[in-house]
């Protein structure tokens, strides 16, 4: 079966990432002050490595001997819920939302939830791009057409991509944030980079939490500072309905009783 040109393009974007028009390629060990790919774009390379294009809202330094997961700084809070002031017709991709401050493509790669006033209708869409705010509104371009008209007064919840704002974990919402990726290089604040989300890698571990340092201690979970540990490091209460439920990020590799931070990272495949 022969592939169409569109299918070839979609396959290329899936493997190599969605590059912005006129922008150069960017390697996995390179940061850029200018955005070259769509936020959240996926790149796959050899050895099972999968990356997603990210922006460092906070600098990502390398601490001596430390390789830590970076967390998404995109917050989901009640203030994100917005009441529509401009209607959007069914069958179109453009949605104007009240937003007086956001820069261009702040919502790119993110999503929007839409609820009807009566609570009888719900839509969920991906966001392809967004304009800079004109001081009152931001115009979103959706990946697909709206199924229904959004009326004035209805509620929407637009959320940026988890990769739009990435930084060290534990600063603002410790133990309440998403471990998004592993940076392969130090990244300057506001620069763009490829964050590793799936594949074999090394991540620093908490003492007493190295995968494979004891039997049945293979899966690893994100600690609040971006390090990892197996469940034994949390102690009683974890996953028993009475304690914590940390984010699972991968599993130990190989076999043996050495205890190592060498894991198969299993975030966004």
Which domains does the chain possess? 5-73+164-193 (no CATH), 80-159 (2.40.10)
Supply angle C-alpha 229, 233, 239, rounded to 5: 95
CB 143 within 8 A of CB 127: yes
Which stretch of 15-29, 204-218, 235-249 has the lowest confidence by average pLDDT?
Answer: 235-249
Instruction: Write out pLDDT tens, residues 33-62.
Output: 999 999 999 999 987 899 999 999 999 987
What letter does residue 11 receive in the DSSP assignment? H
Angstrom distance (rounded) from CA 156 to CA 148: 13
Instruction: Write out pLDDT tens, residues 160-200.
Output: 999 999 999 987 777 888 999 999 999 999 999 999 999 99
Secondary structure string (H, E, C) spanning 95-118: EEEECCCCCCCCCCCCEEEEECCC
One DSSP character per residue, 221-239 reads EE-TTS-EE-GGGT-TTTT
Angstrom distance (rounded) from CA 196 to CA 202: 11
pLDDT band at 96 (very low <50, low <70, confident <90, very high): very high
Residue 119: pLDDT above 80? no
Angstrom distance (rounded) from CA 158 to CA 160: 7
pTM: 0.85
**Mean per-residue pLDDT for 2-8?**
48
CB 20 within 8 A of CB 38: yes
Element (H, E) at 166: strand 166-168
Which stretch of 124-128, 142-146, 166-170 has the lowest confidence by average pLDDT?
Answer: 166-170
The mean pLDDT of the chain is 86
CA 222 remoteness from chain centre: 15
Residue 12: pLDDT above 60? no
3-state secondary structure of 10: helix
């Amino acid at each position: 079966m022969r592939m169409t040109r569109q299918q070839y393009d979609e396959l290329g974007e899936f493997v190599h990432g969605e590059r912005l028009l006129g922008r150069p390629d960017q390697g996995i060990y390179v940061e850029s002050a200018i955005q070259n790919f769509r936020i959240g774009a996926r790149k796959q390379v050899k050895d099972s490595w999968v990356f997603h294009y990210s922006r460092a809202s906070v600098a990502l330094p390398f601490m001596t001997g430390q390789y830590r997961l970076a967390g998404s700084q995109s917050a989901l809070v009640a203030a994100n819920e917005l009441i529509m002031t401009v209607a959007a017709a069914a069958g179109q991709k453009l949605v104007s939302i009240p937003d007086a401050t956001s820069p261009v493509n702040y919502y790119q790669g993110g999503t929007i939830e839409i609820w009807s006033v009566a609570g009888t209708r719900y839509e969920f869409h991906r966001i392809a791009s967004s304009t800079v705010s004109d001081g009152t509104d931001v115009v979103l371009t959706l990946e697909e057409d709206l199924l229904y008209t959004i009326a004035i007064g209805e509620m929407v919840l637009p959320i940026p991509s988890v990769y739009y704002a990435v930084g060290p974990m534990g600063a603002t919402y410790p133990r309440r944030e998403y471990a998004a990726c592993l940076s392969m290089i130090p990244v300057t604040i506001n620069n763009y980079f490829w964050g590793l989300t799936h594949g074999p890698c090394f991540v620093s571990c908490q003492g007493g939490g190295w995968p494979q340092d004891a039997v049945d201690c293979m899966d690893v979970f994100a600690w609040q500072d971006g390090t990892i540990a197996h469940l034994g490091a949390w102690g009683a209460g974890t996953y028993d309905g009475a304690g914590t439920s940390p984010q699972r990020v991968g599993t130990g590799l190989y076999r043996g009783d050495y205890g190592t931070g060498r894991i198969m990272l299993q975030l966004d495949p």
